[in-house]
Chains A and B, each alone.
Chain A
Amino acid sequence: KAGVTQTPRYLIKTRGQQVTLSCSPISGHRSVSWYQQTPGQGLQFLFEYFSETQRNKGNFPGRFSGRQFSNSRSEMNVSTLELGDSALYLCASSLWGSGTGDAKNIQYFGAGTRLSVL
């Protein structure tokens, strides 16, 4: 079974631009969460999508948005990029709602998209 796939792996943008990141979850997983990882802040939760609906949201400005498609693939968009948005963006998928027992809680991470804002 293929793992969580994120594209692209690397991105270089300039301030003020916008960017879209993509995440394909493990087949059968309906929950997709997005995280921002920086050296000083660890893993910060952005938002979670389940069945095409944003179910939970972290404390990030409205410039950060996302969506989920009917095939559970998810995209994250950041508009008006700032230097501080430079980070590794990770997505994670889980069986939530589809599995049984403890297995449905487990989050599997993608390799991430490293975004550099110049």
Chain B
Amino acid sequence: GENVEQHPSTLSVQEGDSAVIKCTYSDSASNYFPWYKQELGKRPQLIIDIRSNVGEKKDQRIAVTLNKTAKHFSLHITETQPEDSAVYFCAASNYGQNFVFGPGTRLSVLP
């Protein structure tokens, strides 16, 4: 079955700096890769997603890149702000089924 690894487990950055979180997956059949943000005590919220036929997708300060050959995808947050502090989860899925989540990255943006 699918296995998703995520690094780093914790990440601290200064406000205004960039943050990068990396995930690798094992199943080449996976073709949909969402990223979720979970603030303390709240539900996971989708922040960006990418399909396997796209190499990069951007939404304001957030971007995701996908390397199908190497089976890894990354989340990039630029100009970080204190409200970006949260736990971020990557996931891999096959046509919207069998979602496998990474263990999460706790991002702290320091003022």
Please list the residues of chain A having a beta carbon within 8 angstroms of any beta carbon in chain B.
31, 33, 35, 41-45, 48, 55-56, 90, 94, 96, 102, 104-112
Contact = CB atoms under 8 A, between A and B. Distances in A.
Identify the interface centre among A43, A44, A45, A55: most chain B CB within 10 Å of its CB: A43
Contact of B93 (A55, A90, A105, A111): A105
Nearest to B4: A42
B101 A56 contact: no
A110 B93 CA distance: 19
B101 A104 contact: no
A108 B47 CA distance: 11
Given A42-B103, A106-B34, A107-B34, A55 B51 contact: no
B43 A107 contact: no
Nearest to A95: B96
Interface string B79-97: 0000000000101010111
Contacts of B11: none
A109 B45 contact: yes
B98 A45 contact: yes
Given A105-B32, A105-B49, A33 B43 contact: no
A102 B49 contact: yes
A28 B34 CA distance: 21
B74 to A, nearest CB: 18
Identify the interface centre among A48, A90, A96, A109: most chain B CB within 10 Å of its CB: A109
Contact of A90 (B44, B91, B97): B44
Interface string B37-52: 0000011111001010
